[in-house]
Structure formats: structure tokens, C-alpha cells
Amino acid sequence: MKKILTAAVLTLALAGTAFALSDSEYLTLKKSNADFARADKNLTQVWKKVTGSMSGRSLKVIREEQREWIADGRDNDADYYMSMGYSRAEAYTMATNDRAEYLPKLAREIRNGK
């Protein structure tokens, strides 16, 4: 019984990384799912808008934040939606839309030194 419990805990601990989106999966999803492609395009447009007026330290900070989101945050956000029953494509679309909505706020916080 102890081994089963340990295995279950380990499985849950690793679940957050079990659904990580690889670069090739990202490209496939972008090509095969119109909703995700629109969300990704919107995120790109928002990114260009918020970073267009940034420079120096602020730009460096937001770039690092975005890299971290792509590396881990995107998957964590999508995992949350998948745990609620959404499909992988829906989950990544929702996570991408959430990020596009959050980026302007993040940019303001960075500019204000928060």
C-alpha cells in the first residue's frame, strides 16, 4: 500500500511536466487549430505593442518573464485548464489568451518597478 501511495504522489508531482508542449507540437497545434492560431497571433501583436515602447532594463525584464512563461508557465496554465476537462488544444488556446490579456498589466508593473 505504501508503494502505491508513493507512486501516486510521484505521478501527481510530475503531472505538471507531463503535458509540456514541445516546439514541434506548438507548430503542429498552430497549423491544425484555428482558435490556437488566432490566440497565438493575438499574443504576438500584444507582445509587439507592449514591448515597442520599452527599452533597457524594462525590456530585458519582460523578455525574461516571457521566456519563463514559454518554458514553464504556459504548460502550467494549460495543465490547469486540462485538469478542468478541456482538451489540450482548448487549454493551450485559453492559456495563450490569458497571457495576451495579462501582458499589458505586466508591462505596467515592470515600468513602475514592481
| Model pLDDT for residues 97-112, shown as the tens digit of each residue | 999 999 999 999 999 9
Farthest-apart Cα atoms in the chain, separation = 58
Number of domains in the chain: 1
Domain membership of residue 14 (yes or no) is no
Residue with cell 524594462: 58
Domain membership of residue 13 (yes or no) is no
Domain membership of residue 82 (yes or no) is yes
Full residue range of the structural domain in which residue 82 is found: 20-111
Domain membership of residue 1 (yes or no) is no
Q: How confident is the model at residue 20 (pLDDT cuts 50, 70, 90)?
A: confident
Domain membership of residue 10 (yes or no) is no
Domain membership of residue 58 (yes or no) is yes
Domain membership of residue 2 (yes or no) is no
How many other CB atoms are found less than 10 A from the CB of residue 103?
20
Flag whether pLDDT at 7 surpasses 90: no
> Is the CB of residue 96 less than 8 Å from the CB of residue 90?
no
**At 108, phi and psi to the nearest 5?**
-60, -45
